[in-house]
Amino acid sequence: MNRLRQQVVCFWLQLKILLFSPFEGFLAVVFPLMFATAALLVYQVNGDPAAMLYAGIGAAAMGIWTSQTVSATTLVQRERRAGTLELVVAAPTPFSLVLLPITFAMATIGLYSVVATILWDRWLFDIALHVANWPLFVLSILMATVTIALFGFLLSVTAVRYRTSWALGAALEYPGWLLCGFVVPLDLLPAVLRPLSWALAPTWAVEGMRAAAAGESPWSDLAICGAVGLVYAALAAWLGVRLITAARRDATLALT
Amino acid sequence: MPLTERPAVEARDLRRTFRTKQGVLRPTRKTVEAVKGVSFEIAPGELFGLLGPNGAGKTTTIKMLITLLIPTSGSASVLGHDVVADVREVRRRIGYVFGGDRGLYERLSGLDNLRYFSELYGVPPREQKARIGSLLELVGLTGREGERVEGYSRGMRQRLHIARGLLHDPDVFFLDEPSIGIDPVGARELRATIAGLREQGKTVLLTTHYMFEADELCDRIAVIRSGEIVAEGTPGELKGLVSAGRVLEVETYGVADGVVETSRTLGGVRSVVVEDRGQVQVLVVSCEPGAEVTQAVLGQLGDTRVGRVSHRDPTLEDAYVELVTR
């Protein structure tokens, strides 16, 4: 019970930190809308309403991916610059449980981008979101948010030893849009890249969103999405212990 | 000092080596031995000072003791728990505070910072409010706790750091240059807080550059130089290392290159350093008992304009300077 309280309190305080940053707040508000605009302008050329809906849903998930991958890989560097990284590592709480509420706070910002993008689609491009099964559609969005947060969690743990870890987030951002099939159908990608797409939980979450919108069953997509997310969490917890030990051995925690 | 009870902190032949790599195409690797076999014991309730110049290995030693660095060899324990094998047990029992502006969440209030670290350091929820309240009182931040840390002065931040380090009521407290950059009033308040920790029975390991601070606060002091402990004892014992001699101070207006080195070779001279004091530079010469070196030192200065020349008894700082410049 105390652990749950700890996670909730830490989540709330980390969310406060994120919300109080005017610059990051501006980026979080504007970036998803700009990406969605660019994608929808491309699709608008064909004048196909089904394709616009496809792109509209994908663009909504794109915002979470962008906010999560970039911010998760800069998370540790942010703590390092603030001088708090050593303090949180020296705390009796396992490091993975320090990072988990921070990544969920970031995912909450990402969740905003889904809602904002859907409203933006409606207002600017007149895309009416015809969703056959709203509860499952919302569940799919939440699954996308949680599993992208877990992916961010894995990234932030992996990046703990490296001061240039932010570059990893920047490098993953745009390939992720393609590999997860947010705005381009996976069938158009080379077959050799398919396993990479399957290993990314958002691929399944966005498939679930589209299935729920079309009135099909999203359960198999969501089940795989959840399973892949759990693998991320387990891998991050396992790596967390080993990478922190390696950072203590190689003196890389305090690198500024 | 032999201890009759189990030491609160024990370091046995601690060593730490850092390996650095430079260059991409033709990388050159360098190995730096930061700590070379440091051993000491701190008794429960003792305030122990670790003094040394920059790069001497003070912070590296502390980081090994607080589990942030794994020793290359040797062993250390805190309250009987090994710092490598029993990491969580050590972390539960220690507090760590370092000097400077960093180590706090700027966008959160002082109160939220304490709430956050209370959670991470496992302070029971029922005790948090009262504990945070009493600590804010202790460090003089009551009434300012709702303000964001980014608006705090350096002294306020440092006091908030102390409160953070005490949240989980640790038995052993590590203070790494806590008074660095604080104004004299703030530093005095901080010293009073540190003295209060000893009165509460806490064991404290303090590193500082300020000799008067170490003299005032510490029960025992170890002087570390180039990763090795070169002297250990009470402040009085350390002063005794140079008390048999005298200290010559010569005010000058610009010491020429090489004067310090040549003065060190004079007979009867133990150590020579230059201190900047406002407009003047003071040549501080520690002498052997009975040695008369004034004329010889003035002779080394040549045409340099000289002000007041005086003699005085050695202080802890003189002992420290002699130990780290030998």
pLDDT tens digits for range A151-204: 887 887 777 666 666 677 778 888 888 899 988 888 888 999 999 999 999 899
**pLDDT score, position B8:** 94
Residue B1 maps to a domain: no
Task: Report the C-alpha gap between B134 and B95 in whole angstroms.
Answer: 17
Q: Using the 3D structure, point to which of B209, B233, B257 is the last residue of a domain.
A: B233
Pair (B226, B320) in one structural domain: no
Residue B2 lies in a domain: no
Q: Which of B45-49, B304-308, B316-320 has the lowest mean pLDDT?
A: B316-320
ipTM over 0.85: no
Domain count, chain B: 2
Q: Are B177 and B156 in contact (CB under 8 A)?
A: no
- B215, B249: one domain: no
Let me know whether B71 and B219 are in one domain: yes
Q: Are residues B142 and B289 in the same domain?
A: no
Shortest CA distance from B86: residue in chain A: A92
Q: In angstroms, what separates the C-alpha of A114 from chain B's closest C-alpha?
A: 26
Asked if residue B317 and residue B256 are part of one domain, the reply reads yes
Residue in B with minimal Cα distance to A99:
B120
The enclosing domain of B261 has a CATH number of 3.30.70
From residue B85, give the alpha-carbon distance in Å to each of A85, B11, B91.
Answer: 21, 14, 12
Sheet holding B94-98, edge to edge: B94-98, B172-176, B203-207, B47-51, B220-225, B228-233
Asked whether the predicted pLDDT for residue B105 surpasses 60, the reply is: yes
Residue whose pair of structure tokens reads 């640790």 in the numeric block: B170
pLDDT tens-digit series, residues B201-254: 899 999 987 888 888 899 999 999 889 998 899 988 887 776 567 888 898 888
3-state helix, strand, coil in chain A (%, to 5): 80, 0, 20
Residue of chain B minimizing CA distance to A21:
B107
CA B102, CA B117: separation in Å to the nearest integer?
15
Set of chain B residues whose Cβ sits within 8 Å of the Cβ of A92: 88, 91-92, 120-122
Q: Which residues of B touch A10 (CB under 8 A)?
A: 116, 119-120
- Same domain for B41 and B18: yes
Residue from A172, A167, A210 nearest A55 by CA: A210
Identify the H or E element spanning A106: helix A95-125
Kindly state whether residue B3 falls inside one of the protein's structural domains.
no
Q: Is B106's Cβ below 8 Å from some Cβ in A?
A: yes
A4: nearest CA partner in chain B: B119
Residue where a domain terminates, one of B233, B264, B282: B233
C-alpha separations of B105 from A48, B97, B110 in Å = 49, 15, 9
With contacts defined as CB-CB under 8 Å, which chain A residues touch B18?
A: 251
Running DSSP on this structure, what letter comes out for residue B109? Answer: B
Interface contacts A/B by beta carbons within 8 Å: 83
Chain A interface disruption, residue of B116, B128, B150, B161, most A CBs within 10 A = B116
Q: B122 vs A98: CB contact, 8 Å cut-off?
A: no
Instruction: Tell me what the pLDDT averaged over chain B comes to.
Output: 87
Contact check, Cβ <8 Å, A86/B121: no
φ, ψ for residue B145, nearest 5 deg: -70, -20
B289 in a domain, yes or no? yes
Residue B164 lies in a domain: yes
The DSSP secondary-structure symbol of B148 reads: B
Q: Is the same domain home to B69 and B165?
A: yes
Min Cα distance B69 → chain A (Å) is 5
The count of residues in chain B is: 326
Indicate whether B53 and B192 sit together in one domain. Answer: yes
Among residues B203, B233, B263, which one ends one of the domains?
Answer: B233
Residue B311 lies in a domain: yes
Are residues B80 and B196 both part of a single domain? yes
Q: Is B228 exposed, middle or buried (0-12, 13-18, 19+ CB in 10 A)?
A: middle
**First CA to last CA across chain B, in angstroms?**
24
Q: Which residues of A touch B105 (CB under 8 A)?
A: 13, 17, 82, 84
Average pLDDT over every residue of B92-97: 92
Q: Which of A23-37, B156-170, B232-246, B275-289 has the highest mean pLDDT?
A: B156-170
Query: How many residues in chain A?
Result: 256
Q: Please indicate, yes or no, whether residues B223 and B294 belong to a single structural domain of this protein.
A: no
With a CB cutoff of 8 Å and minimum separation 6, the contacts of A50 are: none
Chain A residues close to B66, C-beta within 8 Å: 90
Question: Where does the pLDDT of residue A109 fall: very low under 50, low under 70, confident under 90, or very high at 90 and above?
Answer: confident
Burial pattern B296-315, b for ≥16 Cβ within 10 A else e, equals bbbebbeebeeeeeeeeebb
Q: Identify whether residues B280 and B193 lie together within a single domain.
A: no
Q: What is the mean pLDDT of residues A24-51?
A: 80
Q: Helices in chain B by DSSP H: which ranges?
A: 58-65, 87-93, 110-120, 125-138, 154-166, 184-199, 211-217, 235-243, 259-264, 294-301, 316-325
Q: Tell me if residue A50 falls in helix, strand or coil.
A: helix
Q: Do A13 and B115 touch (CB under 8 A)?
A: yes
DSSP string, A119-164: HHHHHHH------S-HHHHHHHHHHHHHHHHHHHHHHHHHGGG-TT
User: Model confidence over B11-56: pLDDT tens digits?
Assistant: 999 999 988 777 777 788 888 888 999 999 999 999 999 998 888 8
Do both B261 and B179 map to the same domain? no
Q: B6 vs B39, B40, B44, CA distance in Å?
A: 15, 13, 8
Task: Judge: B70–A245 Cβ closer than 8 Å, yes or no.
Answer: yes
Do the chains contact at A92 and B119, CB–CB below 8 Å? no
Closest by Cβ to B105, choosing from A82, A98, A248: A82
How close does chain A come to B95, measured CA to CA in Å? 9
CB–CB contact A90 B67 (8 Å): yes
User: Whole domain around residue B283: which residue ranges?
Assistant: 240-325
Q: Does a structural domain hold residue B4?
A: no
Q: Which of B15, B16, B59, B68 to mutate to test the interface with A (most CBs of A within 10 A)?
A: B68
